[in-house]
Structure 1
């Protein structure tokens, strides 16, 4: 019986989950969970990448104590951020977070040199200040000149574990530097940010063997024999693989967590003028697919409310408090850049409501109610755009990820969109990670078989739209 471990690291936490097939069902067990977050160091918000690597080894040691002597392992994380390596292939500095303010106004500055229309025609990627294109545009050029290689976060972790360097395509596509037609980094865009193709490791598809963990790590840690597989290393790409949908094309997905990613799976990009005008993205998926989607701020806003509140309320308590008020009393633009990393999310939401002459939420329940209302409205708007731009009728919306547990938001979304909503699994990202490992090792034939396995392995909640909301 084969063992699989998914290393799934998000902006606020990470975990190692062990999986194997038992009696025809996929069984998942969390081995290790740890916190993640950025800290202000040397004038920038930085990730402690070494600490994340240490947590992976702690998790692998726990796996060994559970009797797991041999396993496959895949790594997925958030996208766009990177680690620069010097000539000795050592980290120059901890990576800067995409929420750092260094990219403020960089879209405008760069597109004064090269038009938005040209960039979108090349890449099909949504314009966001956090994209790697603008991070590199803002990068300290003296640091960039010292760099021999740039590795994205999951690729860097894979390099530390195995000694092998790759650039996995689902993550690389989010940079807004990959050319849809040449399937490589675009030379003109690289010139804009003063880097060359040589800065990047070879592009690699999801579902590729990366290598075994280096022998030196066995001297420091009591860990299993591990073979690392390059999975769909962008967490959203893995989450979409983990959607328990049928072969029908009448479904859309919403990967709901720190970010909300709403879209469809396609075999061809949709980088039309209408897609450009509505700022939709065409991120690359596994096995020749594309993720035509819109990136929405997501539950980061609720996480920040929890951080700054004076009371110790759980997310479940906050959801209950939100239900005490009438929804859609106040609506904010959740994609306004003011909400990317404000000092006080509650105050920022209140100010946005004042500026638009709406009722100002005062209690925690009212603030969370405003967020849920605004997210549901945003989902409705973007799903309508998807149907129009991609010329596809959608009957079903699959909500996966941690946000699939928010019952109120699920029902509001069903009510507004008039679609049947299926919620779960909440661990879709890790499951998608594991499914790619299983296809790579020939335990599954393809993603379609993997999705059938997911359907029979996990409980999925169903929400039908009601008529209370027009």
Structure 2
């Protein structure tokens, strides 16, 4: 019996991976393997932080074209990405302007302008999304003049990244890249990260769209998850969760409420609830309410994560050789155990520790011995664990949550990090898989195909 084969395109802010799932229908055993991968990062171009869209689109097109030749029975594909960023395309799906990263400072300018038109507490009550510089709504406000100009000459749409890459997958499978716009609409989970979606329904908030100053027709209609977005030459393109952390949450067993720590470049601590948490206490704590794949909301705290260490990688390897992240983690864990704990969530602290010498100086290490470096790296990991565990404890108290805590993402591989969190929380963390987003993406696709996700046993090979 041939396996039911599906593809998950897992687009992270440092790598894009093509993952293949093959389900044995007789045993419900799902094997998952990485088929292709490309590293990427935003670059400074003409004064902006931009994603290398040409590199990524070329990679996806070539990868899907090759997969069609090698695995013609692939039945569907789903895409998950990080939130907030978008691409403006014409009626053929071709980008009309550079894809600018959430790390670009223009979001802060847009936020300052927009709060003069709609107060931030009012924005929060409408959308349930915490105002942050990175939010799409502020990017759009900052880009409004360019978008107004584009729509004068083009039938343009602002596609959030999962929908952009879904369209690219459909075009590549059809063998006519960027010749048609196959994807009609914006996926609900990723749309909920924008700060423009009314919580509880599938509609953009008119008052907020007006405040951005963008042409309203540039926003596609919002579509729910767990649906077929397009079908091309035998391949279904599935709305499989769209947002990476929403996909990771969908991979968890059981029903709501449930708690997830998705520990990657960013750390998202979330508890899934039936209704958004939009009280004054939630707003003060910094809770943002993003859509869950199966319905409801993920009351979340978006925290700075492993990019704090990732940015130091080149300097660490220049000094100590070409170490893997696992080797770096072990060397740090083996250094002195009495690590100082310091603030890692403020912009001021992040600037101070953005280089290896800066980290050493911030902690008072001389840097004349190798051990100083490893103690400093250990202190950074321990401080992240303290920050994430403390935030989780505050969120759990607000939600009156006492259940199991699930851990996914690259952070789950770091023994020092997980053990420190467990010590602070006073409970064990249940590790689902470092590949939570991929697992949830694939499980969503199999759910749409009529399979019971709770019966599927997943193995990564």
TM-score (norm: length of structure 2): 0.87
What's the offset of the Cα at 1:288? 1.4
Equivalences for residues 37-186 of structure 1 within 5 A: 37-64=41-68, 66-86=70-90, 90-104=94-108, 106-139=110-143, 141-147=145-151, 148-162=156-170, 163-186=182-205
| 2:23 equivalent in structure 1 | 21
Q: 1:228 aligns with which of 233, 237, 246?
A: 237
CA distances 1:75-114 after superposition (whole Å, capped 9, x unpaired): 1111100111346653112210111122235434432332
| 2:458 equivalent in structure 1 | 457
Which segments of structure 1 move beyond 6 Å, counting only runs of 4 or more? 339-343
Equivalences for residues 220-369 of structure 1 within 5 A: 225-243=234-252, 245-247=253-255, 249=257, 251-309=258-316, 310-311=318-319, 312-327=322-337, 329-338=339-348, 344-350=354-360, 353=362, 359-360=364-365, 362=367, 363-369=372-378
2: CA distance, partners of 1:183 / 1:402: 32
What's the offset of the Cα at 1:125? 1.0
Q: 1:379 aligns with which of 388, 392, 399?
A: 388
Contact kept, 8 Å, 2:250 with 2:440, in 1: the verdict is yes
CA distances 1:29-75 after superposition (whole Å, capped 9, x unpaired): 11111112112222211112232222223333443464443321111
Number of residue pairs matched by the alignment? 434
Tell me which moved more, 119-128 or 307-316: 307-316
SS of residue in 2 equivalent to 1:231: strand
Contact kept, 8 Å, 2:267 with 2:303, in 1: the verdict is yes
Contact kept, 8 Å, 1:301 with 1:339, in 2: the verdict is no
1: CA distance, partners of 2:72 / 2:93: 31
Q: 2:39 aligns with which of 9, 32, 35?
A: 35
Please state if 1:402 is matched with 2:402: no
Give unpaired runs (5+ residues) of structure 1.
216-224, 445-449, 460-470
Q: Cα gap change, 1:344/1:335 in structure 2, threshold over 3 Å: closer, same or farther?
A: closer
Tell me which moved more, 266-275 or 47-56: 47-56
Give unpaired runs (5+ residues) of structure 2.
171-181
TM-score (norm: length of structure 1): 0.85
| 1:443 equivalent in structure 2 | 451
CA distances 1:199-257 after superposition (whole Å, capped 9, x unpaired): 111111111112234x7xxxxxxxxx5221121111111111123x33474x4111111
2: CA distance, partners of 1:120 / 1:80: 16
